[in-house]
Amino acid sequence: MANKGKAELFAAIRRDARLEGMSARALARKFGVHRRTVAQALASPWPPERKKPPPRRSRLDPYKPVIDAMLRADLDAPRKQRHTVVRIWNRLVEEHQAVEVSYPMVRDYVRQRRAEIRMEEGRGPVPGFIEQSHRPGAEAEVDFGDVWIRLAGTLTRCYLFSFRLSWSGKADLAWTHHHTPPCHSHAGQGNASWAQPQHRSQPTSSYSSANGSSLQRNHASPS
């Protein structure tokens, strides 16, 4: 049990408590953990997050507000008049007698804080993350383009149809000599079809899944 993750440990403790009616003392003895851990597992299936240790103090801490002020002033300064890391370090030593502060300490702090200050003042993009979620058989990625292959000793231009299911990642490929003939491909449980476009410059690929959902995407004409 020691090699399993803590979430699996919590699940096992909760299972034995529910099915076998074991006491907290017996559970702690069986799994080799403290009764406090057993209490946590019985209270919630999710292990508590580890507390992050407080950041270590640095010799740069007293001068961070000074550096921040320089970086904020740089937001409105002409490009060639903005502080470099070397200039910031020299000013700390000359104006604030920060002889105990090394150049790498200033460099690492400025690299992080310059971008943060721009975001705090609304001058830069805010980093974000959007988690993607796909249902099985509901979505697919489709593409169509040209490739060159040697066919019977002759360099020939062909067209490649690519179909990839978003959930499983399973892909299927089909190629043809012609630009817009109908071609059919099967991947997983869904069906992919290449339909005759109404305009050669704007072919349309369509996909209908087993559960009835559909995906349609336009592509520029292969050059």
What pLDDT score does 68 carry? 96
Task: Answer for the pair 10, 41: CB distance below 8 angstroms, yes or no.
Answer: yes
What confidence score (pLDDT) does residue 185 get?
A: 42
Would you state the pLDDT for residue 142?
87
Q: How far apart are CA 17 and CA 41, in angstroms?
A: 10
Delimit the domains of the chain by residue range: 6-43, 61-120, 158-214
pLDDT at position 178, please?
67
Backbone angles phi, psi at 93, to 5 degrees: -70, -45
Which parts of the chain have pLDDT scores under 70? 1-4, 126-129, 131, 178-223
- Cβ–Cβ < 8 Å for 199, 221: no
The per-residue pLDDT for 127 is 61
Q: Can you give the pLDDT at residue 66?
A: 96
Task: Write down the pLDDT at residue 157.
Answer: 87
Q: H helices of the chain, where?
A: 6-19, 24-31, 35-43, 64-74, 85-96, 103-120
CA distance 105 to 85: 10
